[in-house]
Structure 1
Amino acid sequence: MSFDHREPGTAPEAWTTFLDTLSPDAVDLDGYQAVVVVAPHPDDETLGAGGLIAAAADAGIPVHVVLVTLGEGSHPDSPTTTPDELAAVRATEFRDALELLHPEVTAGSLGVPDVGLREQPDTLRDALVARLDATPGRALLVAPWRGDGHRDHRVAGEVAEAVGAERPDVDLLSYPIWAWHWDDAAEPAAPWPTAHALALTDDVLARKRTALAAYRSQVLPLSPAPGDEPIVDDRHAAHHLRHTEWFFGAQRSRSRESFDAHYARKPEGWDFDGSWYERRKRAVTLAALPRERYRSALEIGCATGVLTAALSDRADDVLGTDIAAAPLERARARAPHARFLQAALPDDWPEGTWDLVVMSEVGYYLSPDDLDRTIDHVVASLADDGVLVACHWRHPDDEAVSSGDVVDARLTERWPRPAIVRHVEDDFVLSVLPGPGVVSVARGEGLVR
């Protein structure tokens, strides 16, 4: 997703019309012993969750804000203010804004470079784990929506989602910032079916408004010179200064309807045959298989059957599954020796034992709970000498629930044994996860003992 904050963007009035059609779940703070808010840049916490911060603190719930960067890159073309000067200004504004929201709110700064979170996501992960470990009772974790369009927002959302998925005593809410600007209220891409809303009292809204005004470097021009224009102008601020604050709840797995719509537009799905990226990735996947031949293979999310056909040359029996019916018609023609089943996994898990399971470009379409249940099914149905081969795209996907890196990390964390192959490049990550009876290729051929 790319956008230009200098463009007008979607009108607040258009969102008002859309929001009036929703029946969101209410944000209920009862039962939480702590609220932890992730702010990639100073002002994100106020724009996205300032009302929640104030309301939680008013209710006596401890609130801690994790500030990832100092936002020194907000005005890259400024002729009057250096990034170091901006960092100092924005750090002061951040402290002032939190004081205005509620004087008992605490905060910590991680010092990650602006637009640098992708290079050090563990800095945020470690900070969240440490904070939540020190938090007794149930916690509400609040972070940017990972589809928001800014790289730091995406990574912060992915890290928070992964941390929250690991902890049954943590609930996650995600807030949009730039999605209000670039998304289309007539056909929104954001996950509004999961919407949660927090009604703000007049007092809380007034504090949020005052806290936002404390970010003078963002809401006012740094100078009259070009490059010093405000980042959050009145039009953009209007999205956030409503009497209701909006969040997205736990993501659901991508729906069958969305896949049906995709194949209605593109019957071949993705360019599996023509794209060199796809053909090369398929070759890498097949080369990573530690055995030349398999008894029974299961392919999760087989789409139009291009990889299925190749697997049919390596396995006596192949079952391909897909959530949508349309691609299976093409798959049956492309791989006539394979079997196919329309199934929404993990609920429709097929019976059988497999010595090869392939999960290619599908894990990030599953909710955290569905991904965990899928992993459990694979472990339970995999033969001792079997392997799971998982390959996933590492770039953003607006239709995805998580990311390739999140899926690979979760597989690695929950799999009972270490991966025997892990191939990582800029575009995709591939892991081969073994059953207890798997040995190395050389050992299996008797080349080593």
Structure 2
Amino acid sequence: MVTFDHREPGTPEQKWADSKALRTAPELDLEGVDRAVVFAAHPDDETLGAGGTVHRLIQTGSSVRVIVATLGEKSHPDSPTHTQQTLSRVRHLEMSEAVGAITAGCVTPEYLALPDGGLTAKALADPVNEAMTWLAQGRHPLAVVTWVKDGHPDHEILAAQVQEAAGAAAVRCVQYPIWWWHWGTPGKLPRGLVYVPLSDEDRDAKQQALEHHVSQVRPLSDQPGDEVLLGPHILEHFEREREYFILAAPHQTPVFNRVHTESEDPWSVDSSRYEHRKRDVLTASLPRELYPRALDIGCSTGALTAQLAAHVGVMTAVDASDVALGKARTRLTERGLKNVQLRNAVLPEQWDPDWTDLDLIVVSEVGYFCSPEQWKKLLSLCTKALSSDGHLVLCHWRHPIKDWPLDGDDVHREARRRRNLTRLVEHREADFEIDIYARTKRGRA
């Protein structure tokens, strides 16, 4: 029986007790999830990070697969009693019993039998892609994997491969920290943190599963080299009434191609009063009447692009969805607008180095469709591309953005931190926010 220490002040878990980020994280929506795949780098990852969530998904009728990349055979490299081959057999059995405990015997784990400590993207590609193909056949699929910044190479390589494949397949992906809880700090929790509440039944099933990972939660023997790996100071992080995950930013192209295919006007840009007012306020806020060279990032079906065209000499309008660009092309042609070039690109990765010395860059309703790292890079590229007297316009919806790691306030907050940008215009109301920046003149703070 695994016994968890009570959380007294000074225990490792205590540092998280008052974390505002944990208290205010939104709940992960599991409603309607019909297929889920949980990826583990090593046996026990799945139980520690997502055991309660797996139990909940099984109880609500989801089809769940559990895929473990390695058998964790190098967990005790100096063991005098267990060889790597012995540990492989032991951990294989423990994993089977643990997964049985959290799935009421409904799921048999799938073993890739890849080398512990030696995961590679090449070795993971085929099994991960197969799992994504299966997931993509569901109506509301979910991929669950270790966190890409967890501090363990196997965790991070597996996470990166799953995140990329899930993004390409337009499958929602969440990542669970394991070692982060031990070495991380509350002040550096990532954006996109969400939680799943655990019932008493979920937590009981999780604890029963942990008890099956005997080689990890108890010493192999009393000899040096056989010490316990997951002692109470580690396990207490996983005793919570919630399991926490980090949302992975989906790949924009498949997501928005699907959105624009399913609906002629997914954002109601032609009928919504919000959309009309937002565009009018944005164009009225421009400090100059005419901008010779402009870039419109995230143009979608071109409603704002068409309105901006009256204020620019020539403009490039960019979107990740070729379906959306087709609708934008039709709109511009119908209005006889010939000063706009449309480009299909996913930014910041496909930034064109020829986009330099621009007089106007508009980023409207797209910043929060980046990961935090992508947004920082895109913001830097936009700043460098501005002419000496150019303007950068940011305009975003201020309410929560479901299933994406950032929201509008996050996007604008990052821009306000930049010392090389000076804010010229600030407009904020309940539904949207507009900030207009110029490059900071040399010598200014």
TM-score bracket, shorter-length normalisation: 0.5 to 0.7
8 Å Cα contact 2:348/2:374 also seen in 1: no
Superposition pairs of residues 385-396 of structure 1, within 5 angstroms = none
Q: Map Cα deviations across residues 75-132 of structure 1 (whole Å, 9 max, x no partner).
A: 11111111111110000000000111011124211111001103xx233221121122
- CA-CA distance at 1:22 after TM superposition: 3.1
Cα distance change on mapping 1:219 and 1:21 into 2, 3 Å:
closer
1:378 aligns with 2:376: no
Q: In structure 2, how many angstroms separate the alpha carbons of the residues matched to 1:155 and 1:229?
A: 27
- Which residue is 1:210 aligned to? 208
Cα distance change on mapping 1:28 and 1:146 into 2, 3 Å:
same
Superposition pairs of residues 236-385 of structure 1, within 5 angstroms = 236-251=234-249, 372-374=346-348, 378=352
Q: In structure 2, how many angstroms separate the alpha carbons of the residues matched to 1:72 and 1:127?
A: 20
- Which residue is 2:274 aligned to? none
- Which residue is 1:292 aligned to? none
Q: In structure 2, how many angstroms separate the alpha carbons of the residues matched to 1:232 and 1:371?
A: 45
Q: In structure 1, how many angstroms separate the alpha carbons of the residues matched to 2:233 and 2:345?
A: 39
Q: Map Cα deviations across residues 291-321 of structure 1 (whole Å, 9 max, x no partner).
A: xxxxxxxxxxxxxxxxxxxxxxxxxxxxxxx
Q: Secondary structure at the match of 2:73?
A: coil
Pick the aligned partner of 1:140 from 137, 142, 146: 142
- CA-CA distance at 1:134 after TM superposition: 2.8
* TM-score normalised per structure 2: 0.55
Q: In structure 2, how many angstroms separate the alpha carbons of the residues matched to 1:98 and 1:213?
A: 11
8 Å Cα contact 1:146/1:155 also seen in 2: yes
Q: In structure 1, how many angstroms separate the alpha carbons of the residues matched to 2:110 and 2:250?
A: 31
Which range is displaced more, 41-50 or 134-143?
Answer: 134-143
8 Å Cα contact 1:97/1:214 also seen in 2: yes
- CA-CA distance at 1:229 after TM superposition: 0.9
Q: Secondary structure at the match of 1:126?
A: helix
8 Å Cα contact 2:296/2:315 also seen in 1: no
Cα distance change on mapping 1:25 and 1:378 into 2, 3 Å:
same
Structure 2 gaps of 5+ residues are 1-9, 252-292, 300-304, 306-311, 317-343, 357-371, 376-445
- Which residue is 1:427 aligned to? none
- Which residue is 1:234 aligned to? 232
Superposition pairs of residues 95-244 of structure 1, within 5 angstroms = 95-102=96-103, 103-118=105-120, 121-135=121-135, 136-137=137-138, 138-168=140-170, 170-185=171-186, 187-188=187-188, 190-191=189-190, 193-244=191-242
* TM-score normalised per structure 1: 0.55
- Which residue is 2:45 aligned to? 44
Letter in 2 for 1:44: D
Cα distance change on mapping 1:371 and 1:217 into 2, 3 Å:
farther
Letter in 1 for 2:175: S
Letter in 2 for 1:96: E
Letter in 2 for 1:160: V
Q: Secondary structure at the match of 2:91?
A: helix
Q: RMSD between aligned alpha carbons?
A: 3.6
- Which residue is 1:87 aligned to? 88
8 Å Cα contact 1:10/1:181 also seen in 2: no
Question: How many residues of Structure 1 are paired with residues of Structure 2 in the alignment?
Answer: 271
- CA-CA distance at 1:400 after TM superposition: 5.0
Letter in 2 for 1:164: A
8 Å Cα contact 1:63/1:105 also seen in 2: yes
Q: In structure 1, how many angstroms separate the alpha carbons of the residues matched to 2:60 and 2:373?
A: 35
Letter in 1 for 2:150: D
Q: In structure 1, how many angstroms separate the alpha carbons of the residues matched to 2:14 and 2:25?
A: 19
Q: In structure 1, how many angstroms separate the alpha carbons of the residues matched to 2:374 and 2:108?
A: 31
Q: In structure 1, how many angstroms separate the alpha carbons of the residues matched to 2:374 and 2:179?
A: 18
Q: Secondary structure at the match of 1:22?
A: helix
8 Å Cα contact 1:346/1:377 also seen in 2: no
- Which residue is 1:25 aligned to? 26
Q: Map Cα deviations across residues 212-245 of structure 1 (whole Å, 9 max, x no partner).
A: 1110000000011111111111111110121100
Q: In structure 2, how many angstroms separate the alpha carbons of the residues matched to 1:166 and 1:211?
A: 33
8 Å Cα contact 2:167/2:249 also seen in 1: no
- CA-CA distance at 1:378 after TM superposition: 3.5
- CA-CA distance at 1:36 after TM superposition: 0.5
Residue identity (%): 33
Cα distance change on mapping 1:371 and 1:177 into 2, 3 Å:
farther
- CA-CA distance at 1:21 after TM superposition: 5.6
1:14 aligns with 2:12: no
Cα distance change on mapping 1:252 and 1:37 into 2, 3 Å:
closer
